[in-house]
Structure 1
Amino acid sequence: MLPSTELTLLRRLAHEQTKCRVPSIVAAVVRDGEIAWSGGRGRVAGETPGADTQYRLGSITKSIVAAGVLRLRDEGLLDLNDPLEKHVQGTSFGSSTIGQLLSHTAGLTAESPGLWWERTPGADWAALDGSLATGALKNRPGSRFHYSNVGFGVLGEVLARHRGTSWLDVVRTEVLGPLGMSRTSPAPEGEHADGFAVHPFADLLLPEPSPDAGAMAPAGQLWSTITDLARWTTFVGGDGGDVLSSETIAEMRDMITVDDADTWTVGYGLGLQLVRHQGRRLAGHTGSMPGFLACSLIDPATGTGALTLANSTSGVGILQLCIDLITLTEEHEPSLPTEWQPSTVDTTHLDLTGIWHWGPTPYHLRLLPDGLFSLAPAEGPGRASRFKPTGEDTWTGLDAYYHGETLTVGRTPDGKPNHLDLATFIFTRTPYDPQAPIPGGVHPTGWH
């Protein structure tokens, strides 16, 4: 980056460290899958923290666990609509679905009963399940967003039962390893920051405990570095490597439920937090454990993301810091649009392109270079979607109103396309073409 941009980003990080009295903090900006800038402030063992200094990720662990669950779904081993009872029998909340657990809409209690799980050694699944025998559901499943650490402890058990090993071994083998995240671990290894609470009225530190959380560990156990977290940030942006397809990651980023209903700036998908800011749709997750704060966000539209790790229990505006780093990067060095180049498309479908009318409204159908096509109003607002082929003359919607709906191409006896049937809506080459199967028919007097 330009020296002026790097200074601007470092100043923002330095301001946060000084104003919030953070023992140490590291941050990075990613672009096009690489770290474009990184910086550190404060001290770890007397040195400025760097790209290989481990901090605790907290709830970013949840997103990594969610990737493991989506792998099960993509392999056909579970469905997001499956009730938990189908995969983990005997709980008191077995009617909650896998999808609801991933999106914090299962109605499950926020915290595990008993002692504060983040500061005390955790027990095994049997103990956690037993503690939830009564009173585990606080809301009707599916009725509202209710953040649940317990829900991801449960999803860790789903992973363990399907793979016949611990949730940790599953994410190490199936997520962290393939992504090259070798410095992400359940406990600190090598160079790492210790967790502290900062006294509110004096410049004093109190060491925080970091015990193994047992069955609750999938909610926030992992430690990592900005180098590894940068790889995870680009993963959330769509670079799934051999772990998940870009389509599945995009599904994880789809808004399922809104956290702040009045303003609708923050919501949740499948294991990912979603943020709207100044026209951008950011995806990632924050993390908070005693002694640590973390955040990872990316704008999938531009590929610009930011991440930060700090060893302080509270006081840091960790989400806003990441948003500001992305915003400052785009302001000082805006992303250029992808250069247009001719591409290879399936020319057998060229006869479908052009203008189609839904009633009197013209739509454009365009072939896309990835084997898809788009159908969108010729001008102004309206229902627009991309479609993927699913059979001869059948396509499935990928976006918005037509997501999951089937589009069928209707042809004349000589094979020429003369209408599109999209979820019972008929599109024709001319408005209300009498030669097409217009629902309700076309008035015999026609246009006059």
Structure 2
Amino acid sequence: MRAQAAIDQAADEIVGLFENRVPEQKTPGSFFAVFGPDGIVLERGYGEKVLGDETAPDRDTVFRIASCTKSFTCTMLLMLRDRGQLNLDAPITDFVPAFRSLSPEVAPATPSVRMLMTMSAGFPTDNPWGDRMEEMTRVELDEFVSTGIRYSSTPGTRFEYSNLGYALLSEVIAEVTGRNYVDVVAAEILEPLGLTSTRFDEDPDADIAIGYRLANGAWQAQPFTAPGVFSAMGGLFSTATDLVRWSLWLAGALDPGDTSDGPLSVASRRELQQIQRAVPANLSKVAEFAEPTAHGYGYGLFVDEGTTKIVSHSGGYPGFSAHMRWHAPTGLGIVALENGTFAASSIPATHALQAALNSYGELTTPAPAWPETVAARDIFDSLIRNGDTASAEAVAAVNLALDAPYVERIAAIATAIANVGPLTTAALTEVPRELSDTPAVTNWTIEGERGRIRCHILMSPELPPRVQTFAVTTENH
């Protein structure tokens, strides 16, 4: 209900971000769907999915989703890893023997599967070129890589977006399974998840949007390409309905209480959405958030992480632009699909989700303290008030007395009490928890006549956890 209310409150602002996309000739047609944990809450379609038919796209209109495909590819790779069929750190030459580098003295390391997944194989960025390579066959790929690949950096050392890397990953999947990449993903992911409108080729019976390129003020239709080895980097067609379902399945894994099933485990879906490779600031294209944000690439997904977490990926292809984006703590997200080359649907989508988050209010809540942390707090509160070292020692980790003997700790407590005046009989005051506080941490204050003592404990990783850090400072009124 809270997600619904936030989207409702931001609806006018969100609609305003998309309603002029067609008049401004960003795209012939545009559709967005803002969703919460239970599905689509706000949706609009503008313009025409096929010029001349005067019909706006809707949630079941099929668009090319381009590089949003990469999250499907990496899901399949993690499935094979989890089955014990694939080592992510194996070199690509285990699967594509024809692969070799052009300049081994420049790039002495052979890229691994993991490097390819995280855009750190050392290949140069290749978006315009890669977009035109989809129909390349396995034989043609072997011929291509056998002549040598020019590296732009040493494999495994930096992020650089590469579609060629994902074409090679399609070969990894094919070699491990003995089946064509397209068939494997369809059978292992799309069918089990009920993504019935998502496929790798043009369905003549589907409600499909035609892609266009703006040239000299006029829209020109772009031809569709057929599946090939580069389909792993951007070959999927899908609808907002299916893409929201996919996004929610991935986002749900970031909820500690998620028990949803599917072809990939909750733990591996969480792994998919963790930063595996940092993206340099000069390469980042993220919204302006109110706090510093770490930006990086997971497995087929971009991740922005600070006190909160946003996962996303864009797709750009001749004639199409797509974007999917979700905020893990609230379950809010958006899918945007447009049928114009270089439409950059990610821009309004990013700001639309931020508008919903601004309306949501507090986005995250700190983790509660463990029961053992709270119990230890009460014991060490008694140490300060009553000098009860025996009880404190009973819950102390082995390092506590070694780091500072109790005689020193009691002396420090006495000094603190002298600074704030005699302690009052008021109960302790728990300091409000911060987002950086783990369950092993708690802070509280004890009132004196002229000030207060601020107390801090940190529990150890033992079972049961014990107090490894105890500190007191003073604050004057």
Coarse TM-score class (shorter-chain normalised): 0.7 to 0.9
Partner of 2:65: 57
Unpaired segments ≥5 residues, structure 2: 102-108, 254-259, 285-292, 378-395, 410-437, 444-453, 472-477
Partner of 2:141: 128
Structure 2 residue corresponding to 1:267, chosen from 283, 286, 296: 296
List structure 1 runs of 4+ shifted beyond 6 angstroms.
335-338, 349-353, 382-385
Partner of 2:349: 322
Partner of 1:313: 341
SS at match of 1:59: helix
Aligned 8 A contact 1:119 1:210 in 2 = no
Partner of 2:116: 101
Using structure 2 for the length normalisation, give the TM-score. Answer: 0.69
Cα distance, 1:328–1:430 mapped onto 2, change above 3 Å: closer
Aligned 8 A contact 1:27 1:39 in 2 = yes
| Cα distance in 1, alignment partners of residues 56 and 239 from structure 2 | 14
Deviation at 1:24, TM superposition (A): 0.2
Cα distance, 1:336–1:285 mapped onto 2, change above 3 Å: closer
Cα distance, 1:6–1:429 mapped onto 2, change above 3 Å: closer
Structure 1 residue corresponding to 2:24, chosen from 16, 19, 22: 19
Structure 2 residue corresponding to 1:81, chosen from 89, 108, 129: 89
Matches within 5 A, 1:34-183: 34-44=39-49, 45-92=53-100, 95-111=110-126, 116-119=129-132, 122-133=135-146, 134-183=148-197
Cα distance, 1:91–1:376 mapped onto 2, change above 3 Å: same
| Cα distance in 1, alignment partners of residues 221 and 161 from structure 2 | 27
Aligned 8 A contact 1:5 1:333 in 2 = no
Matches within 5 A, 1:199-210: 199=215, 201-202=216-217, 204-210=218-224
Partner of 2:277: 257
| Cα distance in 1, alignment partners of residues 221 and 133 from structure 2 | 14
Structure with greater proportional helix content: 2
Partner of 1:295: 323
Matches within 5 A, 1:353-372: 354=376, 359=400
Deviation at 1:17, TM superposition (A): 3.3
| Cα distance in 1, alignment partners of residues 126 and 227 from structure 2 | 12
Partner of 2:212: 196
SS at match of 1:267: strand
Number of aligned residues? 374
SS at match of 2:315: strand
What residue identity is the alignment partner of 1:196? Y
Deviation at 1:351, TM superposition (A): 10
Aligned 8 A contact 1:196 1:208 in 2 = yes
| Cα distance in 2, alignment partners of residues 313 and 124 from structure 1 | 25
Aligned 8 A contact 2:442 2:458 in 1 = no
SS at match of 1:11: helix
Partner of 1:286: 314
Structure with greater proportional strand content: 1
| Cα distance in 2, alignment partners of residues 103 and 383 from structure 1 | 38
Unpaired segments ≥5 residues, structure 1: 363-373, 388-406, 410-416, 421-426, 432-448
Deviation at 1:198, TM superposition (A): 1.4
Deviation at 1:67, TM superposition (A): 0.4
What residue identity is the alignment partner of 1:24? G
- 1:61-91 alpha-carbon deviations (Å, 9 max, x no partner): 1111110001111112223222223344342
| Cα distance in 1, alignment partners of residues 64 and 336 from structure 2 | 11
| Cα distance in 2, alignment partners of residues 28 and 187 from structure 1 | 23
Deviation at 1:109, TM superposition (A): 4.2
What residue identity is the alignment partner of 1:37? L
Partner of 1:413: none
What residue identity is the alignment partner of 1:84? I
| Cα distance in 2, alignment partners of residues 384 and 252 from structure 1 | 31
> Larger radius of gyration, structure 1 or 2?
2
| Cα distance in 2, alignment partners of residues 317 and 111 from structure 1 | 17
Using structure 1 for the length normalisation, give the TM-score. Answer: 0.73
Cα distance, 1:376–1:91 mapped onto 2, change above 3 Å: same
Cα distance, 1:335–1:225 mapped onto 2, change above 3 Å: farther
What residue identity is the alignment partner of 2:348? L
What residue identity is the alignment partner of 2:23? T
Identity of aligned residues (%): 24
SS at match of 1:132: helix
Aligned 8 A contact 2:32 2:240 in 1 = yes
| Cα distance in 2, alignment partners of residues 86 and 334 from structure 1 | 50
CA RMSD, 1 decimal: 3.6
- 1:115-158 alpha-carbon deviations (Å, 9 max, x no partner): 94534662312211221221343321111111110111111111
- 1:37-84 alpha-carbon deviations (Å, 9 max, x no partner): 111111123211101100001001111111000111111222322222
Aligned 8 A contact 2:202 2:224 in 1 = no
